[in-house]
Chains A and B, each alone.
Chain A
């Protein structure tokens, strides 16, 4: 199975700053079949990005995804207070689909 490794484990930033989260796969992710989810404490995950770079419905344009092959990035251009959460990547190009271990984005 494809192992997804997210880095950093924790990212400490201030509102207004730019956040760059990494997701590295142990093998090529077919067709850029990679999604990003946001999860806040006590809540279910929320879809942000699919197909590596397509924003889900209702997601602000400060969220963007990029990458291909084994290296993918989620960028939040200007952090808002509500963006501080845990972010997971998921690959669905190879069975079984797998998730990264998460990056916690915390307020500095």
Chain B
């Protein structure tokens, strides 16, 4: 069974940093791109970042470019999102999602349960 389990969310002050993790199991992790998608309270979905299966290519939404860094450790089947210079509008549930192809720009067939990030003083 394919599973994605996020962790690392929490309460952080504006300007602070947080690192999210997503542990994957049940598929060949390195053969699939992965994405982070977030959902602010009561709002819709926003794609945040994507990474190719090999980890060689990364992509970011303009809203997080320069502040967030996506990475993966294929030996540990784990996806990461390093979030720096956090702002109040980064408050959201962050989902990791498995992309159906090695490149990130396809649909996502499995999603984790999400981890909540709250940016507030």
Q: Are A and B subunits of one complex? A: yes
Q: A: which residues have CB within 8 A of B?
A: 33, 35, 37, 43-47, 50-51, 56-57, 88, 90, 92, 95-102
Q: Does chain A have a CB within 8 A of B46?
A: yes
In the assembled complex, the Cα of A13 lies from the Cα of B78 at a distance in Å of: 42
Find chain B residues with CB under 8 A from A96 CB: 47, 59, 61-62
The smallest C-beta distance from B52 to any residue of chain A, in angstroms, reads: 13
The answer, among B59, B105, B107, for a CB contact under 8 Å with A47, is B107
In the complex, the answer to whether A45 meets B111 with C-beta atoms within 8 Å is yes
In the complex, the answer to whether A95 meets B113 with C-beta atoms within 8 Å is no
Which residue of A is nearest B61, CB measured? A96
In the assembled complex, the Cα of A43 lies from the Cα of B112 at a distance in Å of: 9
Interface flags for B80-92 (1: CB within 8 Å of A; 0: not) read 0000000000000
Q: Does chain A have a CB within 8 A of B95?
A: yes
Q: Does chain A have a CB within 8 A of B11?
A: no
Find chain A residues with CB under 8 A from B114 CB: 44
Q: Does chain A have a CB within 8 A of B1?
A: no
Q: Does chain A have a CB within 8 A of B56?
A: no
| A95-B59, A96-B59 known; A47 vs B47 contact (CB < 8 Å) | no
Interface flags for B28-42 (1: CB within 8 Å of A; 0: not) read 000000000100000
Q: Does chain A have a CB within 8 A of B106?
A: yes
| A50-B107, A92-B106, A95-B59 known; A45 vs B44 contact (CB < 8 Å) | no
In the complex, the answer to whether B44 meets A99 with C-beta atoms within 8 Å is yes
In the complex, the answer to whether B44 meets A92 with C-beta atoms within 8 Å is no
Question: What are 22 of the A-B contact pairs (CB < 8 Å)?
Answer: A35-B107, A37-B45, A44-B111, A45-B45, A45-B95, A45-B111, A47-B107, A47-B108, A50-B100, A50-B107, A56-B109, A90-B45, A90-B107, A92-B105, A92-B106, A95-B105, A96-B47, A96-B62, A99-B45, A99-B47, A101-B44, A102-B44
Which residue of A is nearest B45, CB measured? A99
Find chain B residues with CB under 8 A from A50 CB: 100, 107, 109
